[in-house]
Structure 1
Amino acid sequence: MDPTRKKVKITLEETYGERQASTRFICSLFSLPVPPANIHGPKEDATAFSGGSIPEYLEHGRVQKLLLFGLEGSGTSTIFKQVKFMSKSKFTVDEVQNIKRTIQRNIYRYLSVLLEGREHFEEEALMDKGTSDLERENPSPGTDGSRHCIYSINQRVKHFSDWLLEIIAMGDLDAFFPAATREYAPVVDEIWRDPAIQETYKRRGELHFLPDTANYFLDQALEISSNEYEPTERDILYAEGVTPSNGLASLEFSFDDHSPMSEIYGEDLESQPSWNKYQLIRISSKGVHDSGKWLEMFEDVKVVVFCVALSDYDLEWTRGDGTSENKMLASRDVFESLVRHSSFEDASFVLLLNKYDSFEDKINQVPLTVCDWFHDFRPFRLRQNNQALANQSYYYVAVMFKQLYASITGKKLFVWPTRALERTSVDETFRYIREVLMWEEEKKRMYCMADDDSYSSTETDFTP
């Protein structure tokens, strides 16, 4: 890479960390994949930006369709729920009851993952250390002192563990729960706080089916199991399986003229016209192989929002035929299939790179190169800390997706970091998506006025 280009790229990343308005505009304009350098810093002040009035070519009341897609666990469900809350949409009484039952049932799923992991870690510890080196003093009540380690549990808990794992394996969980939720709540709470389970939880990075929010719900097992339990907004946001698992989910929303989000376009709020309406459509990732039948319906989608969890680079994904592959590779393949689909030939694509915090925690323990797609990654270790390595890794992943997109379409891919569990981040994400829509509309208008558009470069890297 040319030294001047490299210097400009680094300067842009550092300036973005300071949240200067000019750099924010440039990054949006040229679709630069900016590393989320403020991940540990102060939140952005949405009122810090100002600009011109809304372009006249945006017609009042027009609905802009946004298609949200991503593999299970990428964060699309959480983003969808965030937008639902931000748009002031309400869950019906029936929906709340279904959410309640889902949360109660999920507690047993999370516990089963921990119990299965505990068994594996116990066998591993016994084999590695040998009986003579195992802990023999103060064994847990009911255990055989000659076969005891930090992952061992007492016989009563072991009995419940065997029973629950058998139910899960047979697919009979729904037959027992949530009807038996109250009866077993004290046992669940006891097992969750057992030292062996807590030691297992410390190795949650090796438990691929345990979500990041599992401890949030297990800490409240007794309260959640109560008949009087009513899910809070945070509970609903953190819960898995709340949005439809098959088919489609959609909602309409608009930006409030008197919210901080609108202030980036001017201070004269009284004279501001109404914002466009937006329809967010989410396709469940569980229907990936069946989604083709839906895609023909979305020829008028303006933006395809594709969500990828950065921390998926070392995880496995099970295909519809039962075979498995690297989850990041699976995301890449689904992304490519959407880009190539004729329905989205005229749509813009926005790639959301989610779960940066989990990515930052993992990257020093598990190298990015475990994913075959990233085998060429060679970080510059200018500073020996997790954040520097995570930033470089983030940028590399973004560029790989941008290069893939450019090779297929000859166009720029817009990339944005997001943290789906943080409302301010999701709010910021959709402001960015709105800027993308406005920029694409403006670019079309410019094409009508001139034969050449200096901003239509298909290069992956930005050259000033």
Structure 2
Amino acid sequence: MTPATWDGAPGDAAAISKKIDEQLANDGKALEKIIKLLLLGPAESGKSTVLKQIRIIHLNGFTAGDLGEQRPLVFKNVTDAVTELWKAVQLLNYTVLLETKAMMPGLLEELKTINFVICDTFPASPYAKIKQMWNDPAMKMAYDHRSNTNVMDSTKFFLDAIDRISAPSGYTPTVADVLHLRQVTIGVSEMQYTYKDLEFRIFDVGGQKTERRKWIHVFDNVTALFFIAAISEYDQYLSEEDASASLTNMKVKEVEGRRALTRLDDALFLFRWIGNNDLFTKVQIILFLNKKDIFAEKISKIPLTVCFSSYKEKNDYKNATEYIQKRFEAQIRNKNKMIYTHLTCATDTDQVQFLLNSVTDMIIAENFKQTGVI
């Protein structure tokens, strides 16, 4: 394995980009005009967020109308956040304030009756109750200890923004809101865009266990694949049902001395299967170790040993991320294959734009080599 980690040096990226521009000007006709990219990874790893970022960067982003269409989905995310947070409090057996305990059953019933499709803003009655609920210390504790619950990572983002989302004057989602939305990808989503006069087709394939059997149908003629793994999920466990439904057919068993699979285990097994697939022998692999911001918050509270008992270094961001990177890159049997690894926060447009441009230049350069141009 020859790992390659981009450290984000703008000067290097600019130099590479300039060289690519020159090559395209001279030899562009020799390069394959349509470049096919895949976005693969487990559910909730951030694939769809990366696809949204590509839309922002290369396809003029979201119009006011596009953003407005996302309003009901934002309201659903808020409702889901409230519902799952309350379930988590009960599961963790936290003691809530008496007024919260008295209020929650009525709030949950009220949320079920609202037709959010016709709402211009989040309704005032549940808004006041949600704000009260989110101010309960037990709710914050449940969010911080959400590992074995279905509480979304974006819960804090949306509940912190409840004043804005419930503004009496009306609410239009922001781009940040859209990037934080949780929405399950079913089937295959395709996006086409142009970069440096070349046409790119990128496919986002549903990461749910039941969707993985469909992946093989989009594996032909791929130039490069982006594998997205949420490193923040190192402490979140799969149920036995989820583990059994995995494409890798991994059932819950002893993994580093524990009777469970974490979501990060699942990502590792999936990366091994993808990275060693014969269809991808000549395909460039870009590994995004995503949700680094959430990981940075967690690692100070929850040791990496809950996932990797063999981890012996300091429980800090630098050492832990380096270890995770090595574990992923070790999954590839061909030790001469380049794996381009990046720590990412998919909701950070500036970082994603820089990385995508740099990685795309690398993909084009490699395509030049394969076509014999350079």
Alignment TM class, shorter chain as reference? 0.7 to 0.9
Q: Which residue among 221, 232, 242 is the counterpart of 2:162?
A: 221
C-alpha RMSD of matched pairs (Å): 3.4
Q: Which one is further off, 320-329 or 296-305?
A: 320-329
Closer/same/farther in 2, CA of residues 195 and 328 from structure 1, 3 Å limit: closer
Count of paired positions:
348
Q: Which runs of 5+ in 2 are unaligned?
A: 246-251, 253-259
Decide whether the 8 Å contact of 1:32 with 1:414 is kept in 2. yes
Decide whether the 8 Å contact of 2:36 with 2:222 is kept in 1. yes
Q: Which runs of 5+ in 1 are unaligned?
A: 1-29, 125-150, 256-273, 450-464
Question: What CA distance in whole angstroms lies between the structure 2 residues aligned with 1:197 and 1:292?
Answer: 38
Q: Which residue among 356, 361, 366 is the counterpart of 1:430?
A: 356
Instruction: Using structure 1 for the length normalisation, give the TM-score.
Output: 0.65
Q: Which residue among 326, 333, 337 is the counterpart of 1:399?
A: 326
> Aligned-pair distance for 1:54?
2.4
> Aligned-pair distance for 1:426?
0.6
Q: Which residue among 285, 309, 321 is the counterpart of 1:375?
A: 309
Which letter maps to 1:54? Answer: Q
Q: Which residue among 303, 323, 329 is the counterpart of 2:224?
A: 303
Equivalent residue number for residue 35 of structure 2:
64
> Aligned-pair distance for 1:301?
1.4
Equivalent residue number for residue 344 of structure 1:
280
1:5-154 equivalent positions in 2, closer than 5 A = 31-33=3-5, 44=10, 49=15, 51-52=18-19, 53-54=22-23, 56-59=26-29, 62-89=33-60, 91=62, 96=67, 98-121=69-92, 123=93, 151-154=95-98
Residue 248, structure 1, aligned to residue 188, structure 2 = yes
Partner secondary structure for residue 316 of structure 1: coil
Question: What CA distance in whole angstroms lies between the structure 1 residues aligned with 2:232 and 2:48?
Answer: 17
Q: Which one is further off, 180-189 or 345-354?
A: 180-189
Give me the identity figure in percent. Answer: 20
Decide whether the 8 Å contact of 2:299 with 2:317 is kept in 1. yes
Question: What CA distance in whole angstroms lies between the structure 2 residues aligned with 1:352 and 1:206?
Answer: 21
Residue 238, structure 1, aligned to residue 210, structure 2 = no
Equivalent residue number for residue 116 of structure 2:
178
Q: Which one is further off, 301-310 or 86-95?
A: 86-95
Question: What CA distance in whole angstroms lies between the structure 1 residues aligned with 2:205 and 2:41?
Answer: 8
Question: What CA distance in whole angstroms lies between the structure 2 residues aligned with 1:216 and 1:46?
Answer: 34
1:447-458 equivalent positions in 2, closer than 5 A = none
Decide whether the 8 Å contact of 1:104 with 1:225 is kept in 2. no
Decide whether the 8 Å contact of 2:37 with 2:200 is kept in 1. yes
Partner secondary structure for residue 365 of structure 1: coil
Question: What CA distance in whole angstroms lies between the structure 1 residues aligned with 2:330 and 2:312?
Answer: 17
Question: What CA distance in whole angstroms lies between the structure 1 residues aligned with 2:98 and 2:300?
Answer: 35
> Aligned-pair distance for 1:352?
0.7
Instruction: Using structure 2 for the length normalisation, give the TM-score.
Output: 0.79
Closer/same/farther in 2, CA of residues 408 and 110 from structure 1, 3 Å limit: same
Q: Which residue among 94, 101, 121 is the counterpart of 1:158?
A: 101
Residue 283, structure 1, aligned to residue 205, structure 2 = yes
Higher RCO, 1 or 2 (CA under 8 Å, sep at least 6)? 2
> Aligned-pair distance for 1:293?
2.9
Question: What CA distance in whole angstroms lies between the structure 1 residues aligned with 2:14 and 2:338?
Answer: 27
Which letter maps to 1:280? Answer: I
> Aligned-pair distance for 1:211?
3.2
> Aligned-pair distance for 1:254?
2.7
Which letter maps to 1:309? Answer: A
